[in-house]
């Protein structure tokens, strides 16, 4: 007997059993399949999801303490379809990838600041750990599989100009255009900017060397420091939608990685992009100032240097982005494009950090 394709089955689930319900496939990746059916969005989470953790995350998303921050699910319970966890959500309009100048960086910063200040002890629990380190570990495992002996060598050459943007996040919009030549980022602060990528080493070796320069807990190989704040765990512009309702304000979506952790992790992607020259100074400053003005705890007080707090998370995100980009380039038998290569080059600089420049794990 032929099984119904998952997207069609999800549409039927969202449409309360209507087998011919029209739907739009929004995403189909190894970590989830998402369809829109009218004003309902159904997501089939990864088959190996932590089901207890996901159930808690769904209840947190539905909690009043997160109203106006997270998009609330239509049901706080997790359903199941073909053995996979399924959740239902109201549809929200996403960020327009064709208009990067309208990207809601300030709104994202304010939402993160609000999320990081939620009293964790008042939330449904037990609140699981934020899965940022787990995502880095998964990216490194994927790189290891892609570059294992017997498989094609890692693609390290630069593709022609105009090639696709980096695959730093499976569902994220493309990175913003670089602010000047890639080398212009060298004047900025941050560990990713130590000069001189290593020569004569494969791209895979450079990424792995940068990973080894990170503390074990950042790689998901040891327990994370105790304490922290409620974190999203995978912040990028693809994780924002305009919520339904009269205000139509921006909301954070995707709670798969939500949990207690180091809040700097949620600022890691824009910090890493800025450090690499992919995010212009004006946008970075607006994002950082908005986060601080809203009381965000992860970047120090207004006017201070944010890098002592953000550097470690930014390096971790750079390694994750480069590992995924390189793994995908090998799997799809294509060259790295210019922006992907820039992230690998950043890993080369990270790998050269002297021990006395490595920040300590947060307390």
pLDDT tens digits along 140-158 = 999 999 998 866 554 444 4
Sign of the dihedral defined by the CA atoms of residues 298, 300, 303, 307, in that order: negative
The count of domains in the chain is 2
Confidence of residue 3 (pLDDT cuts 50, 70, 90): low
Q: How far is CA 346 from the centre of its chain?
A: 18
Q: What's the pLDDT at 30? A: 81
Q: What's the pLDDT at 170? A: 40
Provide the token pair at 145. 């599989």
Q: What's the pLDDT at 176? A: 56
Domain contains 1: no
Do 304 and 171 belong to one domain? yes
Given 41, 58, 90, the domain boundary residue is: 90
Is the pLDDT assigned to residue 363 strictly greater than 70? no
Calculate mean pLDDT across residues 325-329: 94
Torsion angles phi and psi, residue 5, rounded to 5: -55, 145
Is the pLDDT assigned to residue 196 strictly greater than 90? no
Give residues with Cβ within 8 angstroms of 29, minimum separation 6: 170, 171
Domain contains 21: yes
Do 85 and 124 belong to one domain? no
Do 340 and 283 belong to one domain? yes
Q: Is 59 helix (H, G, I), strand (E, B) or coil?
A: helix
Is the pLDDT assigned to residue 237 strictly greater than 60? yes
When mean pLDDT is compared across 121-135, 137-151, 164-178, the lowest value belongs to 164-178
DSSP 162-229: TPPPP-SSTTPPPPPPPSS-GGGGGGS-SGGG-S-PPSS--HHHHHHHHHHTS-TTTTTSSPPPS--E
Structure confidence by residue, pLDDT tens digits, 240-289: 999 876 677 999 999 999 999 999 999 999 999 999 988 999 999 999 99
Is the pLDDT assigned to residue 101 strictly greater than 70? yes
Tell me the pLDDT of the chain averaged across its residues.
83
pTM above 0.75, yes or no: yes
Q: How far is CA 259 from the centre of its chain?
A: 14
Given 59, 90, 121, the domain boundary residue is: 90
Q: What's the pLDDT at 48? A: 86
Do 115 and 145 belong to one domain? yes
Do 85 and 115 belong to one domain? no
Calculate mean pLDDT across residues 212-236: 93
CA distances 162 to 68, 166, 177, 273, Å, are 38, 12, 11, 18
Given 90, 109, 132, the domain boundary residue is: 90
Which residues span the domain enclosing 141? 100-357
Calculate mean pLDDT across residues 182-206: 51
Give residues with Cβ within 8 angstroms of 146, minimum separation 6: 154, 326, 327, 328, 330, 331
For tokens 């032929």, the residue is: 2
DSSP 72-108: PPS-SS-EEETTEEEEEEE--EE--TT-GGG--HHHH
Torsion angles phi and psi, residue 259, rounded to 5: 165, -175
Do 43 and 108 belong to one domain? no
Do 251 and 197 belong to one domain? yes
Domain contains 362: no
Q: What's the pLDDT at 328? A: 93
What is the domain-level CATH number for residue 295?
3.90.1200
Strands (E), the chain: 24-29, 32-37, 40-45, 79-81, 84-90, 93-94, 229-231, 240-242, 250-252, 259-261
Domain contains 188: yes
Is the pLDDT assigned to residue 178 strictly greater than 90? no
Do 150 and 288 belong to one domain? yes
Domain contains 200: yes
Cβ–Cβ contacts within 10 Å for residue 123, how many?
A: 17
Do 56 and 116 belong to one domain? no
Do 270 and 162 belong to one domain? yes
Structure confidence by residue, pLDDT tens digits, 37-75: 999 999 999 988 999 999 999 999 999 999 999 999 999
Percent of the residues in the chain that have a pLDDT greater than 70, as a whole number:
80
Please count the CA atoms within 13 angstroms of the CA of 326 that sit on its side-chain side.
35
What is the domain-level CATH number for residue 11?
3.30.200.20
Domain contains 69: yes
Calculate mean pLDDT across residues 97-104: 87
CA dist., res. 75 & res. 26, Å (int):
20
Domain contains 111: yes
Do 73 and 222 belong to one domain? no
Confidence of residue 358 (pLDDT cuts 50, 70, 90): very low
Is the pLDDT assigned to residue 320 strictly greater than 50? yes
- Which residues on adjacent β-strands are paired with residue 29? 32
CA dist., res. 263 & res. 167, Å (int):
23
Q: What's the pLDDT at 361? A: 41
Torsion angles phi and psi, residue 15, rounded to 5: -90, 20
Domain contains 108: yes
Do 133 and 195 belong to one domain? yes
């Amino acid at each position: 007997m032929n099984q119904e394709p998952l997207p069609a089955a999800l549409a039927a689930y969202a449409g309360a059993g209507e087998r011919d319900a029209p739907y739009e496939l929004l995403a189909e990746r190894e970590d989830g399949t998402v369809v829109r059916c009218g004003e309902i969005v159904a997501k089939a989470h990864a088959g190996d999801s932590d089901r207890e953790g996901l159930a808690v995350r769904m209840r947190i998303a539905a909690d009043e303490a997160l109203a106006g921050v997270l998009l609330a699910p239509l049901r706080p319970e997790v359903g199941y379809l073909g053995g996979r966890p399924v959740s239902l959500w109201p549809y929200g309009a996403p960020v327009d990838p064709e208009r990067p100048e309208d990207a809601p960086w300030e709104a994202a910063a304010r939402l993160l600041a609000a999320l990081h200040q939620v009293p964790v002890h008042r939330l449904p629990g037990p609140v699981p750990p934020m899965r940022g380190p787990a995502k880095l570990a998964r990216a490194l495992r994927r790189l290891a599989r892609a570059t294992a002996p017997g498989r094609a060598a890692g693609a390290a050459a630069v593709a022609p100009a105009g090639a696709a943007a980096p695959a730093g996040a499976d569902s994220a919009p493309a990175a913003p255009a670089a602010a000047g030549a890639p080398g212009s980022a060298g004047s900025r602060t941050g560990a990713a900017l130590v000069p001189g990528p290593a020569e004569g080493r494969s791209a895979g070796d450079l990424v792995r060397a940068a990973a080894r320069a990170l503390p074990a807990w950042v790689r998901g190989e040891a327990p994370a420091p105790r304490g922290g704040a409620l974190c999203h765990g995978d912040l990028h512009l693809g994780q924002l939608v305009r919520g339904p309702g009269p205000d139509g304000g921006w909301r954070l979506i995707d709670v798969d990685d939500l949990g207690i952790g180091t809040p700097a992790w949620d600022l890691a992607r824009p910090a890493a992009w800025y450090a690499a020259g992919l995010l212009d100074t004006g946008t970075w400053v607006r994002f950082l100032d908005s986060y601080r003005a809203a009381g965000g705890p992860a970047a120090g007080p207004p006017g201070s240097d944010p890098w002592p707090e953000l550097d470690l998370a930014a390096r971790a995100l750079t390694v994750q982005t480069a590992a995924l980009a390189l793994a995908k380039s090998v799997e799809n038998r294509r060259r790295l494009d210019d922006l992907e290569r820039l992230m690998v080059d950043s890993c080369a600089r990270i790998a050269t950090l002297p021990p006395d420049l490595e920040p300590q794990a947060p307390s």
